[in-house]
Amino acid sequence: MVRSTDTTPATPQKPRGGRLPRRERRAQLLDSALGVFVAQGYHAAAMDDIAERAGVSKPVLYQHFPGKLELYLALLDAACDEVIDNCRVALAATPDNKTRVAAAMAAFYSYVAGERGAFRLVFESDLTSEPAVREHVERVTAECAAMIAEVIHDDTGLPPDQSRLLAVSLVGMAQVSARFWVSESTGLTQAEAVELVSALAWRGIRGYPLNDEH
């Protein structure tokens, strides 16, 4: 059976051939690509599918992105930046470290719970054998852990290397537990899950006090 060439895109987009400013067109293409990559994974996704979903010709798509890997990396870059920025905002929102732990945990859970499923690009990529992809994914852990390590060091007085190890452990806890929560029928609301895991994390971190007041 021959596949129809005029299949309606899953998400309504600008009409084929419609002119958009370059920045808007790039954003539109990235949005369309996100849906395809999340649904199909990198290896199964095709540039034809992305162009069709965006309502553009393949030459237009290639004008903005020379290949599928470059398009994927652009999406991954934006996704990684969002996770890191969310973590930064959470840590800066309060001087109270117990609340900081909860806020940082909530930032990961909110990101993973996002309707578009962008977290799969970062935490469940099927292209981790590609060095550029692995570098992007590792950047999330490295930068979030670096921010959290500063807080731990300032609050506990632990040496930098110990603070960093604890920070990496917290980031890992947030990532793994959030992905498990969103993929399994745990019966817990997002707020309940965040509260439960945050309590576990805080009970561990507060065991390294700088003084009796913390």
Tokens of 97: 């470290």
Please give the C-alpha separations between residue 96 and each of 101, 201, 214, in angstroms, as whole numbers: 9, 15, 9
As a whole number of angstroms, the distance between CA 123 and CA 120 comes to 5
pLDDT tens sequence across 128-180: 888 988 898 899 999 999 999 999 998 888 999 999 999 999 999 999 999 99
pLDDT tens sequence across 65-102: 999 999 999 999 988 999 999 999 999 998 888 899 99
Ranges of H-type helices in 10-57: 22-44, 47-54
Q: What percent of the chain has pLDDT over 90?
A: 56
Q: What is the pLDDT of residue 194?
A: 95
17 has pLDDT over 60? no
Amino acid in position 19? R
Tokens of 41: 């994974």
